[in-house]
Amino acid sequence: MTMLQVSVYRYNPETDNAPYMQEMQVDTGGRDLMVLDVLHLLKEQDSSLVFRRSCREGVCGSDGMNINGKNGLACIKPLSECVENNRLVLRPLPGLPVIRDLVVDMTQFYRQYEKIKPFLINDTPAPAIERLQSPEEREKLDGLYECILCACCSTACPSFWWNPDKFIGPSGLLQAYRFLADSRDTATRQRLAELDDPFSVFRCHGIMNCVNVCPKGLNPTKAIGKIRTMLLQQAT
């Protein structure tokens, strides 16, 4: 028996006055399981444990959580990369309201995403088949379009913790730049005008927590830098 000590955040607003950490033990059989597998083993022990999951392969972004102090996707985080001293601590994503156990209310996160108008805006007449892009233009979207909106980055960002209603956050800003950089989008000026306030973009102080935690290896800080450059170029 290879028992792993797991400490998991529990909170059921219907029965608990306050959240608490539940200590549990899981037999991993010596295998290097993913954290999501451990969660399923925990749920076999205690079916009242609640967490989100769907694709279990790092594509849907449902199971973002705080694993031993660092945000990540439970489904693609092997125990060998996060367990220290045979101990695994699981908490919900920080900064967002907890609905129950590891499930957080993502409303504020999605509201920021909504603000950046995450769709192509093009006021020129629609072509017969499709709007073409050169390989070079398409290349500009690499490192941007891959975002799965798991919220690991934004909930690791202190600026988002303090001002989740005003600061767009790394995830939303990465997406904002994805549309600013798109050759098929014609609303660049309006998009930039929406971002030129002291909070939306400029609350980023470049501490790069977002880059540190992104499970897809993306770089929101770099995208934010590019937005700043675009704002500066337009204004000077």
Partner 1 sequence: MVTAVTSFGRSGLYDWMMQRITAVVLAAYTLLIVGYLITTPDLTYAQWSGFFGHTWVRVFSLLTLLSIGAHSWIGLWQVSTDYIKQTGLRFVFQAVCGTLMFVYVVWGIQVIWGL
Using CB under 8 A, list all residues that contact partner 1: 158-159, 162-163, 166, 193-203, 228, 231-232, 235
Report in angstroms how near the CB of residue 156 gets to partner 1 at its nearest.
Answer: 16
**Cα 141 to Cα 218: distance, rounded to the nearest angstrom:** 12
| Shortest Å, Cβ 216 to partner 1 | 27
**C-alpha–C-alpha distance, residues 42 and 165, integer Å:** 35
Q: Pick the closer one to partner 1 by CB: 9 or 202.
A: 202
How would you class 231 by CB atoms within 10 Å of its CB: exposed for 0-12, middle for 13-18, buried for 19 or more?
middle
Q: Which residue, 105 or 196, has its beta carbon nearer to partner 1? A: 196
Residue 19: enclosing H or E segment and its boundaries? none
Cβ of residue 166: shortest distance to partner 1, in angstroms? 5
Please state the closest distance from residue 232 (CB atom) to partner 1, in A: 7
Query: What residue type is assigned to position 166 of the chain?
Result: K
For partner 1, the closer of residues 62 and 171 by Cβ is 171
Distance separating alpha carbons of residues 114 and 110, to the nearest angstrom: 6
Q: Which of residues 25 and 229 has its CB atom nearest to partner 1 in the complex?
A: 229
